[in-house]
Amino acid sequence: MFAQHIIGLSGLVAAALFILGLKRMSSPVSALSGIIVAGIGMVLAIGISFLDIADLSEASRVHSMSNIVLAISALIIGGGGAWWSSRKVAMTAMPQMVALYNGMGGGAAAAVAAVELARHQAASLIILIVTFAGALIGSISLTGSVIAWAKLEGKLKKPWRFSSQRITNAIVFIATIFIAIAAISLRDSTTSSLLTILFFMGALTFGLMMTLPIGGADMPVVISLYNAFTGLAVGLEGYALQNPALMIAGMVVGSAGTLLTLLMAKAMNRSLANVLFSNFGDIAISSDSGVHGQIRTAEASDAAINMRYSSSVIIIPGYGLAVAQAQQKLYEFVKLLQSAGVDVKFAIHPVAGRMPGHMNVLLAEAGVPYDIIFDMDEINDLFPSTDVALVIGANDVVNPAARTDKTSPIYGMPILNADKAHQVYVIKRGQGKGYSGVENLLFYEKNCSMVYGDANAVLTQMVQAIKDLGN
């Protein structure tokens, strides 16, 4: 009994550390310490769980040592694998890693549910309902996150769709729910085990079918949604296990993930239902009727010299910056401009990159100070008074078609007002379109010039051009 009191108290301490850590993660300044605090909470929660052995019956203790060996082995393999992969992962692959970790969390919750259902078929009705609910959500998160990873990794290059797919998905989901109800109703019979297996098969299948039709443009929102799913699944299984640390941690992660998902959908001016069930990002759907004028080009050195003698520059990073791994060279260029007295700021769109906060992490890796990085709402009004806007590898988030073309799939999406700057330079490898498949009207504006090339190579030329001015 004493061990249970220690476990309960430690669980509450761990939960408090999770909440404090998540709170500190809300600011770039304190994010690192927040991760450390939450990590301490996780270590505490895992370590204290071994005290459960003290309250095991004599019959159960026969297997306790083998279970401890298995648990420690799993911690070493999982922890070692996570440490190695996180050290090796490229910044462009960070969204894929996050998607996989989301899936592993959901899968772990589903696995815990499977064990509990196998051991406690005669549990109370409310515990069974909660366990099945956690199993359903965790299973969907697992297979859905794997598909999200495959799409981001380029393993699945196109959404997979067929006629009547939504109806088929609905049938699979409803059938899975009815199987769960039947398993609960027949929990004292041998049929319940077979129904539970069928339930997991249905839940895992639905996660696949739900995610396969979604286009690559919506993967940032999907990753955030499955993060919320994983948190909710963990919270539900925490209730089933009567574990306060799991309950609180799951609820915090689930609510934070839900809020982030809704904010990202709002940033694209689309409902969550539209993200999940539309054909957005499937094929290039573009009406070129709004395209007027011609594309102008500029040399990297000319663009750099123009920025050197400007008074203000706003830089808009996009996924192309991550692909080129040019964040270090970009910051070197920024420091040269700042030393010449140029006011330099960064503008971040909520859905820039391939996951929430992707660009913020990219800039933080290069050591860019937090106080010159601004969200869209904070900086959009400054563009009309800005000398130069430098767009690096971004597309849809600066496309004026979102304001003017009612036939465009991105119409109504809030964008960064780069086109309102006095001069715009766009670093881009080619004339390709963004995820939405829409022609970017910014490229045809009279105040816009394209600087074609790999971002790292172009920025290297820009840095050299500034340095040459001082020779």
Give the active site residues. 396
Q: CA-CA distance, 130 to 136, in Å (whole number)?
A: 10
User: Two tokens at 370?
Assistant: 């937090």
Q: Tokens 């609510």 map to which residue?
A: 255
378 backbone dihedrals φ, ψ, rounded to 5°: -80, -25
Q: How many CB atoms lie within 10 A of CB 382?
A: 18
Bridge partner residues of 448 (DSSP): 424
Rounded to the nearest angstrom, the gap between the alpha carbon of residue 397 and the centroid of all alpha carbons in its chain is: 17
How many C-alpha atoms does 210 have within 13 Å on its Cβ side?
25
Helical pair 165-185 and 191-211, crossing angle rounded to 10 deg: 160
User: What are the start-end ranges of the E strands in 6-72?
Assistant: none
Q: Tokens 């190695």 map to which residue?
A: 84
For the purposes of burial, counting CB atoms within 10 Å of the CB of 457, is it exposed (0-12), middle (13-18) or buried (19 or more)?
A: middle
Helix/strand/coil for 273: helix
CB 250 within 8 A of CB 126: no
423 backbone dihedrals φ, ψ, rounded to 5°: -140, 140
The helix (H) or strand (E) run that includes residue 452 is: strand 448-452
Q: CA-CA distance, 220 to 396, in Å (whole number)?
A: 14
Q: How many CB atoms lie within 10 A of CB 124?
A: 9
User: Two tokens at 467?
Assistant: 């340095």
Helical pair 327-339 and 358-366, crossing angle rounded to 10 deg: 60
Strands 388-392 and 312-317, bridge-based pairing:
parallel
User: Two tokens at 27?
Assistant: 């600011």
Using alpha carbons, select from 71, 10, 3 the residue that is nearest to residue 41: 10
Q: Which amino acid is at 128?
A: L
Q: Which amino acid is at 142?
A: L
**Got the DSSP string for 377-432?**
HHHGGGGGG-SEEEEES--GGG-THHHH-TTSTTTT-----GGGSSEEEEEESSS-
Q: Which amino acid is at 44?
A: L
Rounded to the nearest angstrom, the gap between the alpha carbon of residue 239 and the centroid of all alpha carbons in its chain is: 26
Q: CA-CA distance, 358 to 365, in Å (whole number)?
A: 11
